[in-house]
């Protein structure tokens, strides 16, 4: 393993300073577990996200791809287990589009399973005192779409591909409601994603019974 792509999203709706985008920018150019990390901020735009992601993959030729995105209401970082071939947006993207019951990729599989070692990452988080869990749905908005596209675009490679959903940060939480939704500090989120990357890079793939042929 030698190259890692970490993506986050730019501003959208009320998330002016999207922490997933902050993470991607901070990671760009760093080295984690001996690998060069490429951090890329993707648009919250159901049409242009495909090209932006394809371009990022082409430029970085990654062995590991970690998509990150914010999901208000989550209590801790979540390793997503599956990306589904569905776009059913509860709110518009930044260009005002709200696809309902549309495919991400017409003709492609109904879903892709994560090829990250999700259980090993959660175990590693716990050893580091970070709560986290495996989630069985990434929703039907841009996070799921991007995770699906990352798996689809790299399906003929041996890249390990997955997604981490993160809670909002504290300074955003109190704008949302009272009581506020759960939150975690930027430092904790950055630490969680960094650990996910290093565990994914170093994992020998042995117990990845679920995760498919991409890891052998």
What's the CA gap between 55 and 162, in Å, rounded? Answer: 18
Please report which residue ranges of 128-202 form alpha helices under DSSP H.
142-153, 170-176, 186-202
Helix-strand-coil percent breakdown of the chain, rounded to 5? 30, 25, 45
Half-sphere exposure of 175 (CA within 13 A, CB side): 10
Residue 92 binds to its own copies (criterion: CB under 8 A): no
SS3 at position 44: coil
Tell me: does residue 98 bind its own copies (CB under 8 A).
no
Q: Is 78 in the site for its own copies (CB under 8 A)?
A: yes
Q: Which is nearer to its own copies, 55 or 185 (CB)?
A: 185
Is residue 143 annotated as a catalytic residue, yes or no?
yes
Q: How far is CA 202 from the centre of its chain?
A: 19
Residues 8-47 binding its own copies (CB under 8 A) are none
Q: Which stretch binds its own copies (CB under 8 A): 28-36, 43-51, 54-62, 97-105?
A: 97-105
Q: Please pick, from the candidates 179, 204, 206, 216, the single residue that binds its own copies as defined by CB under 8 A.
A: 179
Scanning residues 104 to 143, which ones bind its own copies (CB under 8 A)? 109-113, 119, 125-126, 129-137, 139-140
Give the three-class secondary structure for 121. helix
* Residue 13 DSSP code: T
Site of interaction with its own copies (CB under 8 A): 74-76, 78, 81-82, 84-86, 88, 101-103, 109-113, 119, 125-126, 129-137, 139-140, 170-171, 173-174, 178-185, 188, 207, 209-210, 212
């Amino acid at each position: 393993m030698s190259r890692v792509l970490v993506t986050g999203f730019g501003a959208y709706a009320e998330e002016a300073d999207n922490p997933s985008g902050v993470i991607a920018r901070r990671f760009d150019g760093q080295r984690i577990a001996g690998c060069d990390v490429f951090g890329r901020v993707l648009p919250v735009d159901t049409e242009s996200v495909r090209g932006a992601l394809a371009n990022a993959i082409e430029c970085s030729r990654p062995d590991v791809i970690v998509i990150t995105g914010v999901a208000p209401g989550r209590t801790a970082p979540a390793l997503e287990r599956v990306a589904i071939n569905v776009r059913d947006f509860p709110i518009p993207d930044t260009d005002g589009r709200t696809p309902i019951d549309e495919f991400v990729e017409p003709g492609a599989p109904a879903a892709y399973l994560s090829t990250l070692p999700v259980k090993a990452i959660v175990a590693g988080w716990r050893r580091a005192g970070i709560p986290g869990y495996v989630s069985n749905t990434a929703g039907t908005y841009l996070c799921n779409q991007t995770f699906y596209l990352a798996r689809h675009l790299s399906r003929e490679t041996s890249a390990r591909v997955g997604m981490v959903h993160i809670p909002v940060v504290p300074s955003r939480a109190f704008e949302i409601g009272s009581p506020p939704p759960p939150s975690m500090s930027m430092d904790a989120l950055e630490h969680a994603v960094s650990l996910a990357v290093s565990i994914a890079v170093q994992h020998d793939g042995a117990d990845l019974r679920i995760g498919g042929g991409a890891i052998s």
